[in-house]
Amino acid sequence: MGLWAAFEAGKSGLKTMLIDVKGAGAGASGGLLGALMPHMPDRWSAKKQFQFDALVSLEARIAELEAITGLSAGYRRSGRLIPLPKPHLRDIALRHQADAETAWKTPTRAFHWNVIDAPQVAGWVRVEAGAAGFVHDTLAARIFPRGLVAALAAALATFPNLAFRKGEGVSAIDAARKRLHFTSGDSLSYGACIVAAGVSAFQLLEALGPALQKPLGQPVKGQAALLAADVDPGLPVIFLDGLYVVAHEGGHVAIGSTSENSFAEPFSTDAQLDGLVAAARDLVPALADAPVVERWAGLRPKAIDRDPMVGPHPDHPGIVALTGGFKISFGLAHVLARAAVDAIEGRAMDVPPGFTLESHLAVAGRNAP
Ligand SMILES: Cc1cc2nc3c(=O)[nH]c(=O)nc-3n(C[C@H](O)[C@H](O)[C@H](O)COP(=O)(O)OP(=O)(O)OC[C@H]3O[C@@H](n4cnc5c(N)ncnc54)[C@H](O)[C@@H]3O)c2cc1C
């Protein structure tokens, strides 16, 4: 989120400093999966429309980034295959197929949620997994998180108005004096500050007060794995019961993810990941003997109201939140970052009202006695 915000601020000509305690991509964004999954096409809402527009616009934004840097972000609209194990799921999917025909449209493009009897490509998902058929959606896409981070970091290096300070964490924000305090004891003044510190953003924002009844957000651990497999990188993402299988470029397939609200070790992997890998091998014959080349764990920022958290602090307008992307950050970060920079530049943010920091603060009990 912070890299996109720095990119937008840099493009706007703002004098910008990107601060990261560990370096670009050190947090959840440095992972392996990168599935860009649309919301279901039924019960359409402003939030779903916002995510749809973001998923559609990301394609051009990635092309822009790749043109600037010459680097690949590993983006492809590969679509998605969802096995339907039971007949009633096919009935629901057929209703969604009709919903998608009206919801998944722009003035120039249409995306589809097609119910099919068998996967169009043999040897990817096991045919028996879809006893009642499959959904093939043409809107879903994937990006390689580390490719995206590298491309964004390279693009930022081209901005003369942008500096990068790494190796020092922000320990506190003094909103009254507009100063950041670092763990090293150093401090720095700012004109406006976008707080895009992933799971740590919640505490930095809470510390600004007033006291809240509940935390602004929580970390949700996820584990994922990368396998080496000689498969077509254009194959669709497979999704079944929380299991994602994502074919990336360069002979890699990512598998994810666990979703853990409580955990002892935030950044280590365990038997839960073994279970996911086993399930993926069972579902996708091409992965049966594929070696695991990396196991990875990270913390997703889940805001109190589950939606992303963006926008000015009602008491300290120079502080702008940008976090809470939870499980869908990669598809939204570019538009949320633009909204955060709009807020700094005094423009109205074009985001659903429930996404604003003000809304999340209210849910956390800001106005309670
Ligand atoms: C296993 C797993 C799989 C996932 N799969 C997907 C997926 O398929 N699709 C999807 O869209 N999303 C996915 N996500 C979620 C996604 O990765 C996160 O929502 C997203 O990366 C969060 O981005 P962020 O910029 O808010 O936080 P981060 O990427 O965590 O970045 C925060 C940065 O702030 C820095 N920082 C923290 N505290 C401080 C401080 N005090 N001072 C200075 N710097 C600080 C950190 O070093 C870090 O670099 C997945 C997450 C996990 C864990």
The mean pLDDT of 339-367, rounded to a whole number, is 95
41, pLDDT greater than 60: yes
Task: State how far the Cα of 327 lies from the Cα of 298, in Å rounded to an integer.
Answer: 12
Reported confidence tier of residue 317, pLDDT bands at 50, 70, 90:
confident
Please work out whether the CB of residue 330 comes within 6 Å of at least one atom of ligand 1: yes
The mean pLDDT of 122-137, rounded to a whole number, is 96
103, pLDDT greater than 90: yes
**Closest C-alpha among 330, 342, 349, 313 to residue 3:** 330
Please work out whether the CB of residue 327 comes within 6 Å of at least one atom of ligand 1: yes
State the virtual CA torsion across 269, 275, 281, 287 in degrees, nearest 10: 0
Dihedral sign of CA atoms 364, 349, 209, 9 in order? positive
Q: From the centroid of its chain, how far is CA 61?
A: 15
Please work out whether the CB of residue 354 comes within 6 Å of at least one atom of ligand 1: no
Please work out whether the CB of residue 326 comes within 6 Å of at least one atom of ligand 1: yes
Residue entry with tokens 């598998």: 255
The mean pLDDT of 146-159, rounded to a whole number, is 97
327, pLDDT greater than 50: yes
Please work out whether the CB of residue 200 comes within 6 Å of at least one atom of ligand 1: yes
297, pLDDT greater than 70: yes
Residue-wise pLDDT for 220-273, tens only, equals: 999 999 999 999 999 999 999 999 999 999 999 999 999 999 999 999 999 999
Please work out whether the CB of residue 79 comes within 6 Å of at least one atom of ligand 1: no
Ligand 1 atom having least distance to the Cα of 331? 11
Percentage of the chain beyond pLDDT 90 is 97
Contact 173, 195 (CB under 8 A): yes
Please work out whether the CB of residue 19 comes within 6 Å of at least one atom of ligand 1: yes
**Closest C-alpha among 306, 296, 310 to residue 342:** 310
Please work out whether the CB of residue 273 comes within 6 Å of at least one atom of ligand 1: no
Ligand 1 atom having least distance to the Cα of 257? 1
Residue nearest to atom 5 of ligand 1 (CA): 33
Cα maximum dimension of the chain: 63
368, pLDDT greater than 60: no
Please work out whether the CB of residue 134 comes within 6 Å of at least one atom of ligand 1: no
Residue nearest to atom 1 of ligand 1 (CA): 222
366, pLDDT greater than 90: no
Residue nearest to atom 30 of ligand 1 (CA): 27
For residue 36, the cross-strand partners are: 141
In this structure, what DSSP letter does residue 238 have? E
Q: With residue 10 as reference, give the H or E element that holds it.
A: helix 2-11
Ligand 1 atom having least distance to the Cα of 301? 19
Centroid of ligand 1 to alpha carbon of 326 (angstroms):
8
Q: What is the pLDDT of residue 367?
A: 65
In this structure, what DSSP letter does residue 184 have? T
Please work out whether the CB of residue 236 comes within 6 Å of at least one atom of ligand 1: no
Please work out whether the CB of residue 341 comes within 6 Å of at least one atom of ligand 1: no
The mean pLDDT of 310-324, rounded to a whole number, is 96
Please work out whether the CB of residue 323 comes within 6 Å of at least one atom of ligand 1: yes
Pocket test for ligand 1, best of 244, 319, 327 (most atoms within 8 A of CB): 327
Centroid of ligand 1 to alpha carbon of 125 (angstroms):
29
98, pLDDT greater than 60: yes
The two structure tokens encoding residue 22 = 């560990």
89, pLDDT greater than 90: yes
Q: What is the pLDDT of residue 240?
A: 97
The mean pLDDT of 109-136, rounded to a whole number, is 96
Q: What is the pLDDT of residue 123?
A: 85
Percentage of the chain beyond pLDDT 70 is 99
Ligand 1 atom having least distance to the Cα of 223? 1
Centroid of ligand 1 to alpha carbon of 327 (angstroms):
10
The mean pLDDT of 286-311, rounded to a whole number, is 97
Q: What is the pLDDT of residue 369?
A: 42
In this structure, what DSSP letter does residue 341 have? H
120, pLDDT greater than 90: no
Residue-wise pLDDT for 269-295, tens only, equals: 999 999 999 999 999 999 999 999 999
Chain-wide mean pLDDT for the chain? 97
